[in-house]
Amino acid sequence: MKRQLAWTAALLMLSGLAGAAEGLVTVASAHSVQETADRLVSVLKKKGMKVFARIDHAAGAASVGRRLRPTQLVIFGNPKVGAPLMQCAQSVAIDLPQKALITQDAQGRVWLSYNDPAYLRQRHHIEGCKPVLAKVSGALAKFARAATRP
């Protein structure tokens, strides 16, 4: 039985299904990774969000002699929204502050991804926070559109 499970897991990894991005919202961008990230940071700051960090994973990979397609992570948030969400389910703090991942795929297309608030609700069994989750969902979608549209 263990052997069969190991074989199944190996097949899933090879097929790419094991790395499926469950719980992510992904939006195509009309811009490069750098420009998409720049645009996102700009709109976040204009909307009063705190940008905690911007991580260039491709640069990190290059620093150890590895090649990685352009990949940047923007970490941001606002305690006015995050705190009430954590009051509903404290475990959601593991997924906060919010993150946006901007990547370039093998075909040169650029994508912006972020955690789907509906997935966070399910993952953390959040009850009674529908207005906060709706606000977060709407804000994230607006930020993504502003960063990715032509």
What are the boundaries of each domain within the chain? 23-148
pLDDT at 103: 98
Query: Model confidence at 16, in pLDDT bands (50, 70, 90)?
Result: very low
* pLDDT, tens digit (0-9, with 9 covering 90-100), for 78-94: 999 999 999 999 999 99
Average pLDDT on 33-60 reads: 98
* Cα torsion through 82, 84, 85, 89, rounded to 10: 130
Give the span between the Cα atoms of 129 and 72, in whole angstroms: 30
Give the span between the Cα atoms of 91 and 53, in whole angstroms: 22
Q: What CATH number was assigned to the domain covering residues 23-148?
A: 3.30.310.70
* pLDDT, tens digit (0-9, with 9 covering 90-100), for 127-142: 889 999 999 999 999 9
Average pLDDT on 116-120 reads: 95
Q: How many CA atoms lie within 13 A of 49 on its CB side?
A: 24
Average pLDDT on 16-31 reads: 76
> The pTM is what?
0.84
pLDDT at 21: 78
Average pLDDT on 114-133 reads: 94
